[in-house]
């Protein structure tokens, strides 16, 4: 009888909140829209399996970096690595964990059935505003079998701080000295022409709305919105359709230990030339975020899962999983993450 009364009392106390229940761990991140479809899938699956909630806000790479710097999130996400000058602005050392590689594709709104062919020179001239009509001789020469309309080209670009912009502008700097001199590379640019849109979804949406528009987005946004995209002439002279295979070839390069590396303008014969890694950024010592050891361990466990079991979700969503050599580098970086000077994975 006494035992039953005791159990009843415990139940009443829990119901009325007089005894604390174990809180659900929630990790907060912000940044790139480039990997957002994949991250949404990964985080949903991780919650189902491990009960750890991840609140991720796709606000653009620039926003993710700023929020990590301000220590208002547990992790940032970016398609542009932070250079040495930028790293010095953080209050404590950070590390970059590569998650997958992806393609930045050139989308357009034209009534044609086949992949438009574009060269590095023509791409640079379009986004510099030097080529203004779709039936320009330079475009027609690349596409002799396509009847191109006498229509104005409307350039659509990102208006927010964007790793996708960084990848695209990094590529243009490598293939066009004029672009490098006049515009340069970065997450935010002083665009010579065009209309701005926020995020990959914003660019995809605006290109769909405007006949004659051209823009750049991650491959999944083109496929999911049924927007045609171009094949691009690579360094070896081959026109490459962006795909899982051609991005994987582009990612097969020598890798530094810190994994801050560019994949654009690949030397691979059949590699797609406008590709890049997307990274999750965290403080090397997670105590610098003000989180508990339990939360720090939960974040490291999530990162380990993402570069291992989580990779199986990449291919169905048109991202290239990490090659083994990239995965080994990612493992070493995750193992280097600490809490108050002690390793979280041993």
Alpha carbon distance 159, 203 (integer Å): 9
Tokens, residue 329: 């580098």
Confidence grade of residue 245 (pLDDT, cut at 50, 70, 90): very high
Find all residues with CB under 8 Å of 8, minimum gap 6, and list them. Answer: none
Alpha carbon distance 301, 203 (integer Å): 34
- DSSP type of residue 288: G
Helix (H) or strand (E) holding 337: none
CATH number of 24-102+276-343: 3.40.190.10
Report the pLDDT averaged over residues 323-331. 98
pLDDT (tens digit per residue) in 27-60: 999 999 999 999 999 999 999 999 999 999 999 9
- Confidence (pLDDT) at 309: 98
Q: Domains of the chain: which residue ranges?
A: 24-102+276-343, 103-253+262-275
pTM of the complete model = 0.90
Instruction: Let me know: does 167 contact 275? Beta carbons within 8 Å.
Output: yes
- Confidence (pLDDT) at 9: 44
- Comparing 1-15, 53-67, 103-117, 273-287, which segment has the lowest mean pLDDT? 1-15
Instruction: Let me know: does 184 contact 169? Beta carbons within 8 Å.
Output: yes
Q: Looking at the predicted structure, is the pLDDT value of residue 330 above 80?
A: yes
CA-to-CA dists, residue 280 to 23, 77, 134, 320, angstroms: 25, 4, 38, 16
Report the pLDDT averaged over residues 11-29. 60
Confidence grade of residue 5 (pLDDT, cut at 50, 70, 90): low
Helix (H) or strand (E) holding 172: helix 163-175
Determine phi and psi for 287, rounding to 5 degrees: -65, -20
pLDDT (tens digit per residue) in 220-230: 999 999 999 99
In the block, which residue shows the tokens 């806000």? 57
Beta bridge partners of 10: none
Determine phi and psi for 140, rounding to 5 degrees: -65, -35
For residue 124, is it left (φ>0), alpha (ψ between -120 and 50) or beta? alpha
Report the pLDDT averaged over residues 212-240. 97
- Confidence (pLDDT) at 108: 98
- Mean pLDDT (the chain, rounded): 93
Q: Looking at the predicted structure, is the pLDDT value of residue 7 above 80?
A: no
Tokens, residue 344: 């979280």
Report the pLDDT averaged over residues 188-198. 97
Report the pLDDT averaged over residues 245-274. 97
% the chain with pLDDT above 90:
91
Are both 24-102+276-343 and 103-253+262-275 of the same fold? yes
In the block, which residue shows the tokens 């590569």? 98
- Confidence (pLDDT) at 23: 58
Q: Looking at the predicted structure, is the pLDDT value of residue 2 above 70?
A: no
Confidence grade of residue 24 (pLDDT, cut at 50, 70, 90): confident
Beta bridge partners of 76: 30, 281
Q: Classify residue 89 by burial, with Cβ atoms within 10 Å: 0-12, 13-18, 19+.
A: exposed
- Confidence (pLDDT) at 114: 80
- Confidence (pLDDT) at 113: 81
Helix (H) or strand (E) holding 24: none
Q: Looking at the predicted structure, is the pLDDT value of residue 233 above 70?
A: yes
Alpha carbon distance 217, 58 (integer Å): 14
Q: Looking at the predicted structure, is the pLDDT value of residue 11 above 50?
A: no
Report the pLDDT averaged over residues 273-295. 96
Give the closest residue to 284 by CA, choosing from 114, 116, 140, 82: 82
% the chain with pLDDT above 70:
93
The CATH homologous superfamily of the domain defined by 103-253+262-275: Periplasmic binding protein-like II (3.40.190.10)
Count H helices and E strands in the chain, helices first. Answer: 13, 13
- Confidence (pLDDT) at 230: 98
pLDDT (tens digit per residue) in 104-152: 999 999 998 888 999 999 999 999 999 999 999 999 999 999 999 999 9
- Confidence (pLDDT) at 346: 76
């Amino acid at each position: 009888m006494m035992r039953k009364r005791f159990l009843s009392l415990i139940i009443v106390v829990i119901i009325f909140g007089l005894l604390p229940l174990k809180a659900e761990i929630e990790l907060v991140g912000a940044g790139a829209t480039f990997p957002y479809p994949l991250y949404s899938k990964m985080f949903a699956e991780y919650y189902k399996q491990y009960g750890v909630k991840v609140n991720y806000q796709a606000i653009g790479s620039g926003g993710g970096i700023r929020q990590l710097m301000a220590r208002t999130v547990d992790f940032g996400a970016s398609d542009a690595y932070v250079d040495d000058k930028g790293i010095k602005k953080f209050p404590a050392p950070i590390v970059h964990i590569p998650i997958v590689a992806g393609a930045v594709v050139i989308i357009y709104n034209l009534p044609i059935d086949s992949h438009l062919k574009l060269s590095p020179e023509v791409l640079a001239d379009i986004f510099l505003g030097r080529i203004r009509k779709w039936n320009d001789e330079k475009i027609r020469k690349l596409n002799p079998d396509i009847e191109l309309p006498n229509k104005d080209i409307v350039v659509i670009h990102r208006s927010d701080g964007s790793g996708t912009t960084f990848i695209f502008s990094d590529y243009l700097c490598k293939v066009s000295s004029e672009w490098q001199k006049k515009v340069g590379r970065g997450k935010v640019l002083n665009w010579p022409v065009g209309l701005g849109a926020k995020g990959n979804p914003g660019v995809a949406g605006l290109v769909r709305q405007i006949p004659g528009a051209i823009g750049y987005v991650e491959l999944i946004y083109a496929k999911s919105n049924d927007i045609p995209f171009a094949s691009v002439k690579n360094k070896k002279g081959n026109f490459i359709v962006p795909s899982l295979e051609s991005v994987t070839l582009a990612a097969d390069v020598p890798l530094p230990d810190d994994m801050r590396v560019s994949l654009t303008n690949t030397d691979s014969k059949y590699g797609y030339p406008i590709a890049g890694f997307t990274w999750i950024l965290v403080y090397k010592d997670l105590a610098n975020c003000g989180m508990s050891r339990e939360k720090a361990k939960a974040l490291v466990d999530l990162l380990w899962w993402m570069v291992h079991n989580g990779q199986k979700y990449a291919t169905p969503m048109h991202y290239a999983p990490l090659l083994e050599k990239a995965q080994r580098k990612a493992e070493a970086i995750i193992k280097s993450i600490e809490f108050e000077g002690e390793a979280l994975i041993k």
